[in-house]
Amino acid sequence: MSALQGHEFAWLLFMDPPRHTKLRAIVSRAFTSRALARLEARIRELSSTLLDAVADRGEVDLVAEYATPLPSIVIAEMLGLALGDWNALARWSETIVGLGRTISGTGATDAFRDADVFDPGRSPSSHIAFGHGIHYCLGAPLSRLEGRIALADLLARFASLELVAPEWPPRSSFHVLGPSSLRLRASHH
């Protein structure tokens, strides 16, 4: 991270119009419905390959071996990086976003009762996980597609998934909430 200190970063997320509008229009081409439809088969292939690698072990770190590699590999390939470079991309991303931790805060604890509890049935579910307004995440549809495929594949592959430990270490990132590690015991159908 020392190599990044002292540099001024112009992240799309923190830009304002008109520069934001111009750059967003360029980047958004990679996230159209048509572009995402072309990625779906590859995402399914990657999901299956990652699950094949852990299927017979009986225990898996879901974050390190599935939830992090899947979107990282997809983005790495979209950027034209070699398959083996996804780890570097993930590290670079974490380093860069780590610089922005001081600007975090979504107000979720004020907006939702028991905001720190995962509740997929929560209503209303007007979250801002992908931002809002002109800064709404361009990758949100890709993330939803990856999530839909990953969850379906994971549940189809294993008959049961149990936490190895009741507590999980939180991820230290200003833009992504969740566990930094999630060890599960998995059994086949």
pLDDT tens, residue by residue, 129-182: 788 888 888 999 999 999 999 999 999 999 999 999 888 888 876 667 788 999
Q: Give the pLDDT of residue 136.
A: 87
Phi/psi at 60 (5° precision): -145, 145
Q: Cα 178 to the chain's mean position, in Å?
A: 10
The conformation of residue 179, written as its DSSP 8-state character, comes to B
pTM for this one?
Answer: 0.80
141 preceded by cis ω (within 30°)?
no
- pLDDT average, residue stretch 34-50: 97
The pLDDT, as a whole number, for residue 4 is 46
Band of pLDDT at residue 84, cut at 50, 70 and 90: confident
pLDDT at 1: 42
Examine the pLDDT at 108 and tell me if it is beyond 60: no
Give yes or no for residue 89 having a pLDDT over 90.
Answer: no
> How much is the pLDDT for 123?
75
Provide the terminal-to-terminal Cα distance of the chain, rounded to the nearest Å.
Answer: 44
Q: By C-alpha distance, which of 40, 20, 56, 52 is closest to 147? A: 40
pLDDT, position 132: 81
Q: So what's the pLDDT on residue 101?
A: 54
Query: In the prediction, which pLDDT does 129 show?
Result: 75
* Residue 29 reports pLDDT greater than 70: yes
Looking at residue 2, what is its pLDDT? 45
Q: What is the pLDDT of residue 174?
A: 62
61-88 mean pLDDT: 91
Q: Is the pLDDT of residue 105 over 60?
A: no
pLDDT value for 102: 53
Domains of the chain: 12-100+132-188 (1.10.630.10)
CB atoms within 10 A of CB 46: 24
- pLDDT for 9 equals 53
Residue 124, preceding bond cis, omega within 30 degrees? yes
